[in-house]
Structure 1
Amino acid sequence: MDENEAQQVATTLRNLGIRGVVSPEDLGNPDGPWRVYDSADPDTRRDITDEALTVMAGRSRQSGPTRGFVIPQSR
Structure 2
Amino acid sequence: MIVVKIELWPCGFESRKREIGRMLIDNQGGTAKRGNYRVRVLRKGSEDKVLREGEVTNYPRQSYNVWRLVCRALKSTFHEEQ
> TM-score w.r.t. structure 2 length?
0.28
Q: Report 1 or 2 for greater relative contact order, CA contacts < 8 Å, sequence distance ≥ 6.
A: 1
Larger radius of gyration: 2
More strand by share: 2
> TM-score w.r.t. structure 1 length?
0.30
